Amino acid sequence: MKNHFLSSTPLLLGVILFFSNANAQDSSYVIPLWKNGAPGFENRKNEPEQAKDWWVRNIHNPSITVYLPAKAIATGAAVVICPGGGFVENVFNAEGKDPANYLNSIGVAAFVLKYRLFRAENSGYTKEHPIQDIFRAMRLVRSRAKEFNIDTARLGVMGFSAGGELAAWVSYKNYQNNYTPTDAIDKVNAHPSFQILIYPGPYSAPETVPSNAPSTFLLAANGDECCSEPIIKLVQLHRKAKVPVEMHLYAKGAHAFNMGYRTEFVSLKSWPQRMADWLKDSGWLKK
């Protein structure tokens, strides 16, 4: 019996590790932005999403997926992440889940936004609807800060490509009254404490940057025909407004290198570390 137990131990340990890893991977959970569905579109909340490979489409019940860091390393900082996809689809894994997991590894809580896609065929939405979604997401996270163990003064926004436009719109523009308030959450401040724009879309750069704009981290590859110029404009606007800004423009690469996990360029593979350095140097990671 003793020998039988010893020979079975590796198998038992493997089973335990499998279930432990499965539980760790399944620790995220989804919260709809509005309990009864998006304002004016409540009748669409139960339409199923479509998801395949790297994208999610047919988003009619906008939500945040919550990723919390281990309590032992949690800093209290948090970020709402807006994946890209041209407002046709949501690049949920590579520009949502992957950055969320990275942020968790440095003690930052992350909330991946699934927003409505106004450029999808026959969507029935306009540009105003994803703007409603990002404002509501910022407010929802702040309203539940105690539950998420985060500091409301250290809630930032992060966006890739089209998601970078969303992040910029909540950072630079005043859309406070772009829909009729539905509950107390809509009275919460939506303004981000800082923003991270990764190859943001061409509509991310406003005509002017207000003096109360959040401290900003900008990053793109010079070969990105659509989304390298916006960060050059933004760094100049930030300097003019005397708002803290850091920019990284890489010589190699094009659009949509995501977190750098699948690129051939060494510099792009390590760009998340530059973001982590900036977060630390800026004081956002202090417990």
Distance of alpha carbon 110 from alpha carbon 69, whole angstroms: 8
Q: How far apart are CA 78 and CA 72, in angstroms?
A: 15
Name the architecture of domain 30-281. Answer: 3-Layer(aba) Sandwich (3.40)
For the cut 90, the answer to whether the pLDDT of residue 24 exceeds it is no
Let me know: does 277 contact 248? Beta carbons within 8 Å.
Answer: no
pLDDT in tens, 126-182: 999 999 999 999 999 999 999 999 999 999 999 999 999 999 999 998 765 667 888
Residue 69: the pLDDT is 98
The full set of domain ranges for the chain reads: 30-281
Main-chain dihedrals φ then ψ at residue 98, nearest 5 degrees: -60, -50
**What is the predicted pLDDT for the residue at 59?**
98
Q: Average the pLDDT over 186-206 and give the result.
A: 97
Has this prediction a pTM greater than 0.85? Answer: yes
pLDDT band at 18 (very low <50, low <70, confident <90, very high): very low
d(CA 195, CA 11): 47
Task: Determine the pLDDT at residue 176.
Answer: 59
Q: What would the pLDDT profile of 61-90 be if each residue is shown by its tens digit? A: 999 999 999 999 999 999 999 999 999 999
Do strands 155-160 and 55-57 pair parallel, antiparallel, or not at all (unpaired)?
unpaired
The mean per-residue pLDDT over the stretch 237-254 comes to: 98
In this structure, the number of other CB atoms found within 10 A of the CB of residue 151 comes to 17
